[in-house]
Amino acid sequence: MRAVLVVNPQATATTRAGRDVLAHALASQVKLDVVETDYRGHALIAAAQAREDGVDLVVAHGGDGTVNEVVNGLLQRGPGGPMLGVVPGGSANVFARALGLPRDPVEATHVLLTCLQAGRSREVGLGRVETDGGGRWFTFNAGMGWDADVVADVDRKRGKRTGPGLYARVALARYLRGERHELSVELPGDETVDGLRLVFVSNTDPWTYLGARPVRLNPDATFDDGLGVFALRSLGPVTVLRHVRQALTARGVRAGRQLLRRDDVDTLLVRAGEPVKLQCDGDLIGEFREVRFRGVQGAVTVVA
């Protein structure tokens, strides 16, 4: 079996010693090449090249951004291609944790090797956004509005160490600015829902993590079904606090007068009167007036 290990050396929990241990362990079972990323988009290019070269497995070692790039490289020509392995090395590692993988890179490496030895893998559904600028795959969430604005603000603070604390502070600061978006959502079989302030789309549960605690906006979303949709008509303090409290409980968000929530959605179209920021897996994609979200079942084979 031929494999490529894509490592982001700048990821929060990635170390040179850890990379060497992972590479050595993988090399004992597969014919391995190692790529260390130097710039944004490098992991995507490396994964796309691995598919062109007929590689059997691509392992992403880094945070959710690295995993997202690897997935988009693997699927640049559509579903199929090499299997995906994940060894978490970031701060949140939402995709890896949703798969049930350990947060510790050494433990996750052991799981990966055990699965390879047993020939164990699973097909995982992904989300995809389609805009006038092209398409992008996402592994666990995407959103338009508040969360994408927060991602943009965090990107401008790249000199600071990212983590749950920084995101929480930036989210509060962004909320207090009072900026509001006007969005509409078109769902299959439903009338268009207007007057929405934000739209979050989940490919799995949880939506993200706040440290060790899951944030559950669409608690019934899974890798085996369609997309979960969470949208709010109001960003008033009472509405926001109500849903934040719900999202941090074991049951997750279930109901609310200002809430639009759907499960197992194949496709939805979000429109805005003016360009609104879009994020996928915590990466800012750009600003758009119209975005289509699609759920694609069995898009990638994951060793897990």
DSSP letter at 15 equals -
Asked if pLDDT for residue 162 goes beyond 70, the answer is: no
Q: For position 161, what pLDDT does the model report?
A: 58
Q: Distance between CA 87 and CA 104 in Å, rounded? A: 8
150 has a pLDDT exceeding 70: yes
Look at the block and give the residue holding tokens 């759920």. Answer: 295
Q: Which of 12-26, 114-128, 255-269 has the lowest mean pLDDT?
A: 12-26
Q: If you write DSSP's letter for every residue of 169-192 in order, what string do you get?
A: HHHHHHHHHT----EEEE-TTSPP
Q: pLDDT band for position 156 (50/70/90)? A: confident
In the chain, list all ranges with CATH 3.40.50.10330.
Answer: 2-120
pLDDT one-digit tens code per residue, 227-252: 999 999 999 999 999 999 999 999 99
Residue 271 pLDDT more than 90? yes
Return all residues near 45 (Cβ < 8 A) that are at least 6 apart: 73
**In this structure, are residues 44 and 71 in contact, taking their beta carbons and an 8 Å threshold?**
no
User: Is it true that the peptide bond before 82 is cis, omega within 30 degrees of 0?
Assistant: no
More confident residue, 223 or 90: 223
Is 160 a residue whose pLDDT tops 60?
no
pLDDT score of 159 more than 60: no
Tokens 């995982």 belong to which residue? 124
pLDDT tens digit string along 47-74? 999 999 999 999 999 999 999 999 999 9
As annotated, the residues of the chain forming the CATH 2.60.200.40 domain(s) are 130-297
2-120: CATH topology is: Rossmann fold (3.40.50)
- What is the sign of the dihedral through the CA atoms of 34, 40, 44 and 49? negative
**What is the C-alpha to C-alpha distance for residues 204 and 293, in angstroms, rounded to an integer?**
14
Report the distance separating Cα 280 and Cα 303, nearest Å: 22
- For the stretch 14-50, pLDDT in tens is 888 888 889 999 999 999 999 999 999 999 999 999 9
Name the DSSP class of 78.
S
Q: Does the domain at residues 130-297 carry the CATH identifier 2.60.200.40?
A: yes
CA-based nearest residue to 121, from 275, 287, 301, 286: 301
Tell if the pTM clears 0.85, that is, is over it.
yes
Residues 6+ apart with CB under 8 A from 291: 129, 130, 131, 144, 269, 270, 278
DSSP bridge partners of 23: none
